[in-house]
């Protein structure tokens, strides 16, 4: 995801309104590796700017996703998470504490996978489920 200042320029270039609320969200998302949900981001934004609306959070996330600045990812039946890391990567999800980390799989696009005969995938998403290092110790 681009820097908050670059996002301001990108929003303006798209004819989208740049408000202090959106600038706060740009800042909260920049270099955020926690894969926040809209509700998590809303709670964080509210602590810094009381009065920000949940609708503004959702609309900003929708706009950033449409612009290719965020990836919207889901893990099972839970809420959507937003990932500012749009580089090619996968995820590990701790089933105990819910932590989500980025995982890089070398050669994932060349893996030999049974059952794909004749199928031409456009993308792949690998999600590893288990226990993070902290939870595995307990």
- Phi, psi values for residue 116, rounded to 5°: -105, 15
Q: What is the DSSP string of 9-59?
A: HHHHHTT----HHHHHHHHHHTT--S--BHHHHHHHHHHHSTT--HHHHHH
Q: In the listed set 45, 72, 99, which residue is the last one of a domain according to the structure?
A: 72
**Quick check: is 78 in a domain?**
no
Q: What is the mean pLDDT of residues 7-31?
A: 97
Cβ proximity of 79 and 37 under 8 Å = yes
Residue 62 belongs to domain with CATH number: 1.10.10.10
Confidence of residue 14 (pLDDT cuts 50, 70, 90): very high
Whole-number Å distance between alpha carbons of 27 and 108: 32
- Phi, psi values for residue 64, rounded to 5°: -65, -40
Of the chain, the percentage scoring pLDDT greater than 90 comes to 79
pLDDT at position 63 over 70: yes
Q: In the listed set 42, 72, 102, which residue is the last one of a domain according to the structure?
A: 72
**Model pLDDT, residue 113:** 76
| pTM listed for this prediction | 0.89
Of the ranges 22-31, 70-79, 120-129, which is most confident? 22-31
């Amino acid at each position: 995801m681009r820097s908050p200042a670059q996002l301001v320029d990108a929003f303006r270039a798209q004819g989208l309104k740049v408000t202090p609320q959106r600038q706060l969200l740009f800042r909260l998302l920049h270099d955020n590796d926690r894969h926040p949900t809209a509700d998590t981001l809303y709670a964080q934004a509210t602590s810094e700017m009381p009065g920000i609306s949940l609708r503004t959070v959702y609309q900003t996330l929708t706009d950033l996703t449409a612009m290719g600045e965020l990836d919207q990812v889901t893990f099972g039946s839970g809420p959507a998470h937003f990932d500012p890391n749009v580089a090619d990567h996968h995820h590990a999800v701790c089933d105990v504490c819910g932590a989500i980390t980025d995982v890089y799989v070398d050669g994932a696009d060349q893996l030999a996978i049974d059952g794909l005969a004749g199928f031409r995938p456009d993308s792949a998403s690998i999600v590893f489920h288990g226990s993070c290092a902290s939870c595995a110790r307990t």
